[in-house]
């Protein structure tokens, strides 16, 4: 890109990642742009963007953090979370595992006079916005459907609905004004972060369901719909991810790692680890070190 051209949000992100978006619709001329980015791992310094951007964490490992004043954020973004990056603010990101996100650029001009203008003036990391996430997922699903005139009209309507949703300011509305079902996306998010923070804890189905205010069977259905796996599988995955970290960065014995992560025995840990990683804990440690 020569110096005479304008750097858009998408051009800046592409430059930082070293490749173009997997999928992109809209442009600066339209006042918005929607892009999908996948399969990048590492630490990234993103320069200040000319326009604010709405980011939806679609899939990938739930270990995305942003740099705060003196270190990486304690809160991590997980699939189903949304983030707002304001214009004019450089950001840093730590992506520990493959990531899949969709970004929606909103022209600064479109925000002028919008009720939600203030929420785009500051960083909002890993918050829950079920409607915004649902609309984004629906747009993405339609973009991979066969091309028809009807699909084009439908995608346009969905994008307009997503833009209207953001410009209206969903987070500014009082909770009572937004009808909810009998489960809270925030509670599910809270439980998932609790598991990631302390994978060694018991995390019984009954306790997690009670925390979410649901029956165990309903909680299982809601959790699997949100994450794609059962609560038990999510806990096991969190433990095995932490086990990989400990095996690569500490001198703890295999038995000590198994005990520290709540496994009933070393043999149980070894079987689970082999099924998850494709090799034994000792084999993994040798490979990593």
Give strand pairing partners of 27.
32
In the predicted model, what is the mean pLDDT of residues 117-141?
84
Question: Average pLDDT of the chain?
Answer: 83
Taking alpha carbons only, the member of 120, 68, 58, 56 closest to residue 94 is: 68
**pLDDT (0 to 100) of residue 28:** 59
Most confident of 25-39, 103-117, 130-144: 130-144
Lowest mean pLDDT among 9-18, 144-153, 270-279: 144-153
Nearest to 140 by CA among 155, 130, 120: 155
User: Could you tell me which residue, 167 or 176, shows the higher pLDDT?
Assistant: 167
pLDDT in the model for residue 60: 74
Task: Report the pLDDT value the prediction gives residue 182, as an integer from 0 to 100.
Answer: 42
Span(s) in the chain for CATH 1.10.10.60 = 185-288
- Options 1.20.1560.10, 3.40.50.720, 3.30.70.2170, 2.60.120.10; CATH of 9-176: 2.60.120.10
Q: Quote the CATH superfamily of domain 185-288.
A: Homeodomain-like (1.10.10.60)
Residue 178 has pLDDT above 80, yes or no: no
Phi then psi for residue 19, to 5 deg, are: -165, 165
Does residue 276 register a pLDDT over 70? yes
Instruction: Write out pLDDT tens, residues 184-240.
Output: 566 787 888 889 889 999 999 998 988 887 888 888 988 888 788 899 999 999 999
Report the pLDDT value the prediction gives residue 35, as an integer from 0 to 100. Answer: 93
How many beta carbons lie within 10 A of that of residue 133, not counting itself?
A: 19
Residue ranges matching CATH 2.60.120.10 in the chain:
9-176
pTM over 0.75: no
pLDDT at 271: 93
The per-residue pLDDT for 96 is: 74
Reduced 3-state DSSP string for the chain: CCCCCCCCHHHHHHHHHCCCCCEEEEEHHHCEEEEEEECCCEEEEECCCCCCEEEEEEEECCCEEEECCCCECCCCECCCEEEEECCCCCEEEEECCCEEEEEEEECHHHHCCCCCHHHHCCCEEEEECHHHHHHHHHHHHHHCCCCCHHHHHHHHHHHHHHHHHHHHCHHHCCHHHCCCCCCCHHHHHHHHHHHHHCCCCCCCHHHHHHHHCCCHHHHHHHHHHHHCCCHHHHHHHHHHHHHHHHHHHCCCCHHHHHHHCCCCCHHHHHHHHHHHHCCCHHHHHHHHC
């Amino acid at each position: 890109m020569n110096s005479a051209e304008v750097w858009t949000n998408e051009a800046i992100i592409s430059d930082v990642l070293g490749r173009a978006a997997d999928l992109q619709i809209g442009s600066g001329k339209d006042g918005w742009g929607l892009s999908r980015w996948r399969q990048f791992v590492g630490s990234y310094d993103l320069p200040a963007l000319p326009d604010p951007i709405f980011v939806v964490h679609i899939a990938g490992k739930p270990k995305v953090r942003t740099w705060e004043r003196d270190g990486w954020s304690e809160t991590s973004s997980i699939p189903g979370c949304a983030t707002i990056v304001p214009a004019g603010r450089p950001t840093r990101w730590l992506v520990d595992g493959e990531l899949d996100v969709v970004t929606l650029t909103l022209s600064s001009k479109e925000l002028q006079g919008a009720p939600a203008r203030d929420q785009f003036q500051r960083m909002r990391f890993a918050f829950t916005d079920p409607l915004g996430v649902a609309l984004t997922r629906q747009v993405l699903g339609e973009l991979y459907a066969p091309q028809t005139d009807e699909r084009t009209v439908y995608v346009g309507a969905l994008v307009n609905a997503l833009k209207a949703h953001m410009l209206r300011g969903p987070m500014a509305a009082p909770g009572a004004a937004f009808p909810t079902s009998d489960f809270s996306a925030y509670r599910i998010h809270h439980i998932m972060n609790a598991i990631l923070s302390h994978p060694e804890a018991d995390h019984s189905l009954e306790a997690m369901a009670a925390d979410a205010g649901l029956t165990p069977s309903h909680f299982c259905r809601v959790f699997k719909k949100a994450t794609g796996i059962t609560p038990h599988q999510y806990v096991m995955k969190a433990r095995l991810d932490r086990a990989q970290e400990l095996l690569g960065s500490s001198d703890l014995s295999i038995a000590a790692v198994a005990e520290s992560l709540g496994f009933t025995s070393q043999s149980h840990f070894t079987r689970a680890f082999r099924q998850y990683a494709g090799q034994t804990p000792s084999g993994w440690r040798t490979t990593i070190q």
